[in-house]
Amino acid sequence: MILACKNLSVRRAGKRVLGDVSCEFLPGDITAICGPNGAGKSTLLSALGNLIAPDTGEVTLSDKPLPAMHPLTRARNIGYLPQSAEIAWDVSVANLVALGRLPHRDEGKAEINQAIVACALDAFRERPVSTLSGGEKARALLARVLAGTPQWVLADEPLAALDIAHQLSLLAVLKGEAESGCGVVLVLHDLALAMNHADRVLVLHEGNLVADGAPEDALSPENIAQAWGVKARWLGEPGQRALITDF
C-alpha cells in the first residue's frame, strides 16, 4: 500500500501553512519529516492521516483517495500518534492499549500483548495511566497505535518525551514494524536521529518541500543552511553521525 499526496496545500487563518507538496511514501521504509518550527511538518502528517482536509490536492492510499474510504477501513490501515495526546479516562495501561483494537471490533488479545511487550510496558499493565511519567505515557500511546496492527504508522514527535535509552528502544520497535512491511512516517526535530535511523528524509521550509531523499542527501550542510539558517557539518561514520553547528 503506497501512501501518497499530490499538490497538497493547506491554509489556516488565511495563511499558507503547506504549499503544493507532492510525495510518495513506501511501505517498509522509515521516513522522517524534518524542518524548523512552523515549517508545516505536523500539518503534513495530519493531512496524511486524513485528520485535516487540504485546500487543494489529495492524499491517496493505494491510489484511492482517503476521504472516499470507509472510516473503519481507514482506521485499520493508518495509525496516528499525535504530538500531545490527551487521555480522557484514567484507565489502566492494558485498557488504554486495548483501545487500539476498536477499528477491528475484536478483543485482539495477542496483538495487545505484543504491543505492550514491544513498548517495554509489561510491568505497567495494571498501572493507571495517571501514574505514568511522560516517557511511559508516550510509550503507552504508541502501544495503543501498534495494537491496531496498521499498515501505516504516522507519529508526530514520538521521541520528544523519552530519554536516550527509550528513544533507541522505541526506534528499534518502529524499525521492526518497518521490517515487517509497515510504513512508518515520523516527525522529528532531532536531525541526528533522522540521519542515523531513517531510510528517507523530507525537509520542509515555510510550507515547501525543499529536500526529499536519503538522509545524507536531504540533510546535507547546504540543505540545513537553507532550511534552518545555521552552518552545520556531520562527523562520524554512517549510522553513528553527530551534527556539529558552527556559530
More confident residue, 177 or 166: 177
Largest distance between two CA atoms of the chain: 55
CA distance 54 to 51: 10
Say yes or no to pLDDT of 88 above 90: no
Pairing of strands 56-61, 208-213: unpaired
Residue 160 CA, chain-centre distance (Å), reads: 12
pLDDT for residue 160: 85
Architecture category of domain 3-85+149-246 in CATH: 3-Layer(aba) Sandwich (3.40)
pLDDT tens digits along 49-69 = 999 999 999 999 999 999 999
Average pLDDT value for the chain? 94
pLDDT tens digits along 34-46 = 999 999 999 999 9
CA distance 62 to 173: 25
Cβ(77)–Cβ(152) below 8 Å: yes
pLDDT for residue 247: 63
Bridge partners of residue 5, in order along the sequence:
23, 59
For residue 165, name the pLDDT band (cuts at 50, 70, 90).
confident
**C-beta neighbour count of 130 within 10 angstroms:** 10
Domain boundaries, the chain: 3-85+149-246
In the numeric block, which cell numbers belong to residue 30? 522509515
Closest Cα partner for 221 from 238, 244, 199, 237? 244
User: Within the chain, how many helices (H) and strands (E) appear?
Assistant: 9, 12
Residue 24 has φ and ψ, to the nearest 5°, of -115, 145
pTM: 0.94
| All residues at 6 or more sequence positions from 232 whose CB lies less than 8 Å from its CB, including other chains | 221, 224, 225, 243, 244, 245, 246
For residue 138, name the pLDDT band (cuts at 50, 70, 90).
confident
CA distance 76 to 181: 15
Residue 228 CA, chain-centre distance (Å), reads: 21
For residue 130, name the pLDDT band (cuts at 50, 70, 90).
very high
pLDDT for residue 219: 98
Say yes or no to pLDDT of 93 above 70: yes
Closest Cα partner for 140 from 164, 122, 165, 160? 122
